[in-house]
Structure 1
Amino acid sequence: MSMFIIPVRSPGLAHISYIFGHGGKAGVVDPRRDCQIYQDIARAHGAVITHIFETHRNEDICSGGAALARRTGAVCCHGRQLPFAFGQAVQEGDRFRFGSLEAKVLETPGHTFESISVALYDHSAGAAGASTAVAVFTGDCLFIGDVGRTDFFPGQERETATNIYESIHNKLLPLGDQTIVYPAHGAGSVCGASLSEREFSTIGHERRCNTVLQLPDKEAFIQFKMAEIHHKPQYFSKMEEYNLLGSAPDLPTLPQPAPVSAKTFMDKKSAGMQVVDIRSPEAFGGAHVPGSYCFPLDMLSAYCGYFLTFDKEIGLVIDELAQADEAVAQLYRMGYDNVTCFLSGGLPAWETAGFTYESLPSVHVDELVRRIDANEDFTLLDVRAEGEWANGLLPGATPIYLGDLERKLTTLPTDRPVTCFCGSGRRAVIAASLLLRAHIGPVENCLGSMAACMALGCRLENA
Structure 2
Amino acid sequence: MEIKQFEDKNLAHYSYAILSNGEIALIDPARNPQPYYDFAKQHDAKITAVIETHPHADFISSHLEIHEATHAKIYVSKLLGAEYTHQSFDDGDTIKLGHSFLKALNTPGHSPDSISILAIDENGKEQAVFTGDTLFIGDCGRPDLREQAGAITSPRTELAKQMYHSLRDKLITLPDSVIVYPAHGAGSLCGKGLSEQNSSTIGAEKRSNWCLQPMSEETFVEALLADQPFVPKYFPFDVGINKKGAESFQKSISKVQHKEPVTCPDCASTLNPAILIIDTRPQEQFKKAHLKNAIHLMDDTKFETWLGSIVNPEEPFYLIAENETALNQLIERASKIGYETQIALAFVSDYGNETSHTFDTEYFKNHPDEYTIVDVRNPSEVKTRRIFEQSLAIPLYELRERCHEIPTDKPIVVHCAAGYRSAAGSSIIQSNIQNASHVIDLGEAVKTF
TM-score (norm 2): 0.89
- Find the residue that maps to 1:178 and give its secondary structure: coil
Residues 386-413 of structure 1, C-alpha deviations (whole Å, 9 max, x = no match): 2211221022121111111111111111
Residues 249-294 of structure 1, C-alpha deviations (whole Å, 9 max, x = no match): 5544744763613158524532644322223334433332221111
**Which amino acid in 2 is paired with 1:357?**
E
Counterpart residue number, 1:458:
none
Q: Specify which of 385, 403, 407 is matched with residue 401 of structure 2.
A: 407
Tell me if the contact between 1:34 and 1:253 (Cα under 8 Å) persists in the aligned partners. no
| Consecutive unaligned residues in structure 2, runs of 5 or more | 148-153
Assess, with a 3 A threshold, how the Cα gap between structure 1 residues 367 and 288 changes in structure 2: closer, same or farther: same
- Find the residue that maps to 1:13 and give its secondary structure: coil
Counterpart residue number, 1:41:
39
Counterpart residue number, 2:339:
336
**Which amino acid in 2 is paired with 1:385?**
N
Q: Does residue 361 of structure 1 match 2:358?
A: yes
Cα distance in 1, alignment partners of residues 197 and 291 from structure 2: 39
Deviation at residue 106 of structure 1 after TM alignment = 0.7
Counterpart residue number, 1:276:
278
Deviation at residue 228 of structure 1 after TM alignment = 3.1
Runs of 4+ more than 6 Å apart: none
- Find the residue that maps to 2:337 and give its secondary structure: coil
Residues 345-366 of structure 1, C-alpha deviations (whole Å, 9 max, x = no match): x31xx2xxxx5132243564x5
Tell me if the contact between 2:119 and 2:128 (Cα under 8 Å) persists in the aligned partners. yes
Q: Does residue 387 of structure 1 match 2:380?
A: yes
Assess, with a 3 A threshold, how the Cα gap between structure 1 residues 196 and 113 changes in structure 2: closer, same or farther: same
Residues 205-248 of structure 1, C-alpha deviations (whole Å, 9 max, x = no match): 22222234347443211111222333222222321221112254
- Find the residue that maps to 1:297 and give its secondary structure: coil
Counterpart residue number, 1:54:
52
Equivalence map 1:269-308=2 (5 Å): 269-270=271-272, 272-298=274-300, 299-308=302-311
**Which amino acid in 2 is paired with 1:297?**
D
Query: Does 376-385 or 240-249 show the bigger shift?
Result: 240-249
- Find the residue that maps to 1:258 and give its secondary structure: coil
Equivalence map 1:173-252=2 (5 Å): 173-214=172-213, 216-248=215-247, 251-252=250-251
Cα distance in 1, alignment partners of residues 289 and 195 from structure 2: 37
- Find the residue that maps to 1:448 and give its secondary structure: helix
- Find the residue that maps to 2:172 and give its secondary structure: helix
Assess, with a 3 A threshold, how the Cα gap between structure 1 residues 186 and 337 changes in structure 2: closer, same or farther: same
Tell me if the contact between 1:42 and 1:48 (Cα under 8 Å) persists in the aligned partners. yes
Assess, with a 3 A threshold, how the Cα gap between structure 1 residues 97 and 409 changes in structure 2: closer, same or farther: same
Assess, with a 3 A threshold, how the Cα gap between structure 1 residues 73 and 236 changes in structure 2: closer, same or farther: same
Cα distance in 1, alignment partners of residues 74 and 359 from structure 2: 51
Cα distance in 1, alignment partners of residues 381 and 205 from structure 2: 24
Assess, with a 3 A threshold, how the Cα gap between structure 1 residues 196 and 265 changes in structure 2: closer, same or farther: farther
**Which amino acid in 2 is paired with 1:133?**
E
Tell me if the contact between 1:281 and 1:426 (Cα under 8 Å) persists in the aligned partners. no
Assess, with a 3 A threshold, how the Cα gap between structure 1 residues 234 and 179 changes in structure 2: closer, same or farther: same
Cα distance in 2, alignment partners of residues 212 and 368 from structure 1: 45
Counterpart residue number, 1:112:
111
Assess, with a 3 A threshold, how the Cα gap between structure 1 residues 312 and 83 changes in structure 2: closer, same or farther: closer
**Which amino acid in 1 is paired with 2:403?**
L
What is the aligned residue count? 434
Counterpart residue number, 2:151:
none
Assess, with a 3 A threshold, how the Cα gap between structure 1 residues 392 and 313 changes in structure 2: closer, same or farther: closer
Counterpart residue number, 1:319:
322
Cα distance in 2, alignment partners of residues 153 and 29 from structure 1: 21
Cα distance in 2, alignment partners of residues 302 and 253 from structure 1: 20
Tell me if the contact between 2:25 and 2:48 (Cα under 8 Å) persists in the aligned partners. yes
Tell me if the contact between 2:62 and 2:248 (Cα under 8 Å) persists in the aligned partners. no
Q: Does residue 27 of structure 1 match 2:21?
A: no
Cα distance in 2, alignment partners of residues 122 and 249 from structure 1: 33
Deviation at residue 142 of structure 1 after TM alignment = 0.9
Deviation at residue 192 of structure 1 after TM alignment = 1.0
Cα distance in 1, alignment partners of residues 367 and 377 from structure 2: 21
Query: Does 92-101 or 138-147 show the bigger shift?
Result: 92-101
Residues 414-442 of structure 1, C-alpha deviations (whole Å, 9 max, x = no match): 22221111110111111111111113531
| Consecutive unaligned residues in structure 1, runs of 5 or more | 454-463
Tell me if the contact between 1:363 and 1:447 (Cα under 8 Å) persists in the aligned partners. no
Assess, with a 3 A threshold, how the Cα gap between structure 1 residues 312 and 396 changes in structure 2: closer, same or farther: closer
Residues 77-128 of structure 1, C-alpha deviations (whole Å, 9 max, x = no match): 11121211121221112111222222111101000000001111111xx3xx
